[in-house]
Amino acid sequence: MVLPTLLLSLDVGRLPEPVSGSSVTCLPLVTYLNCETDSEVQEYRFEERTWRIHWLVGQCKEGRQLPQELRLPAPLPEVRVDLRPMQPQEIPDTEANYWAACDSFLGGEGILRVLGAPLWLTVPLEFHCSCGRAMKYVASLGYELPDTPSRFLKGGQVLFVGEMAFYFFLCGACLRVRVATQST
């Protein structure tokens, strides 16, 4: 049985702005990393105290796991990630900054972005929770390049499952997270 992978425990209690009207202090960002899912989006609900995940949408397709040699470790090794404010050039307020930020997001230093505006989307993503509220974009993850040293993995592996980015949207009232992906 293939289980989803915890990518990041995001300490949203320390972010400069509240996340989606929620009192949640830590947000588990989870996705199927090593398997193609049966839906374009994934969705789960989590329990704040226990972090128990209830998977709702986007199961691992039968027989669609990545080949063994391409799979990332599951679970991922625990690594502390320090967040810092974005630099002015990382905020996509001009076309030049937008493309520079995309380059950083896809194979550069800035593969993890929290809040701000999501990058590299061909169409804007808007999701509504089953409760009717708009889900708020919280974070996104790009990828490391295969020929660069990883900041997250050891043994020559990098955080790369294809030229793909993951986008996380939250309904803070229901603690439901929707995961959208985009690939080249």
- Look at phi and psi of residue 154 and say left if phi exceeds 0, alpha if psi is from -120 to 50, else beta: beta
60 binds Zn ion (CB under 5 A): no
3-state secondary structure of 9: strand
Distance in Å, CB of 174 to Zn ion, minimum: 3
Nearest to 56 by CA among 41, 40, 45: 45
19 binds Zn ion (CB under 5 A): no
Of 75 and 132, which CB lies nearer to Zn ion in the complex structure?
132
Nearest to 113 by CA among 136, 93, 133, 84: 84
- Say how far apart CA 102 and CA 80 lie, in whole Å: 24
Q: What is the CA radius of gyration of the chain?
A: 16
Stretch that binds Zn ion, among 40-48, 64-72, 77-85, 164-172 (CB under 5 A): 164-172
Site string for Zn ion, 95-134 (x = CB under 5 A): ----------------------------------x-x-x-
Of 3 and 174, which CB lies nearer to Zn ion in the complex structure?
174
- Say how far apart CA 157 and CA 150 lie, in whole Å: 7
Residues 114, 139, 161, 171: which binds Zn ion (CB under 5 A)?
Answer: 171
Stretch that binds Zn ion, among 5-13, 64-72, 107-115, 171-179 (CB under 5 A): 171-179
Which residues make up the interface to Zn ion (CB under 5 A)? 129, 131, 133, 171, 173-174
